[in-house]
Structure 1
């Protein structure tokens, strides 16, 4: 299990040095993400993608849950209406179809919605700062925090999330 740590860095040079130090500390590039203003240079940085910057995962999960519930309710109604020989199969089948449609439609909306988790950083990013999102193993959180605090006094620790979704 990993924890997601947030840091704000003042400029590109600081962000590049931080990236290099995290790589030397054996944090893989796959777990290091940077968010910056659209016009800011990102040379040498691993930019965050839609999974980190949108509500795609949360929306897909909600869509699956709601879609399967609506599908199951429709399955019960259909099984009663047609007097199906196997009502359980109708309910399960329509619940699965509902989950797929709910996941698909909700993820389309979620991918275009900015992440609620990153809202608190919007002003800093607009002001030209770089947001570092790093996913570290639980056993290394303190070590990485100390490393960044010691080597980057210009950076600001902005907190952490207790659990990182397995999907992104």
Structure 2
């Protein structure tokens, strides 16, 4: 069963309801890229009339984590995944619809192969860039993922 945007959005509803309620949605996923959007609304705002940073982090993390899930599924192996570290940089107020794009899917396959070959966990960093409707960058988030073959 291929991982699709609609299947990931259903996953959000049942497994990550806070993200779903805040409006985080996967728009596109393939082997290398994932696009996630979230619209600034009352439910996800901060006191400064922009999107709360944690909502941006949920959307950014999903754009990276969905790619990890995609590659794990493609491998056919039982592999655990975990965020080991993250960092964020916020450059502009996030208002309107914010789109997070991660184009680092190519990094995952090699880490999975190495974990399968050695039995050891592997880590790698993935970047997600958040832009507003005008194409202006509002945030940049990096997530260090850890993958390990299950024994």
TM-score by length of 1: 0.27
Would you tell me which structure has more helix in proportion to its own residues? Answer: 1
- RCO comparison, higher one (Cα < 8 Å, 6+): 1
Larger Rg: 1
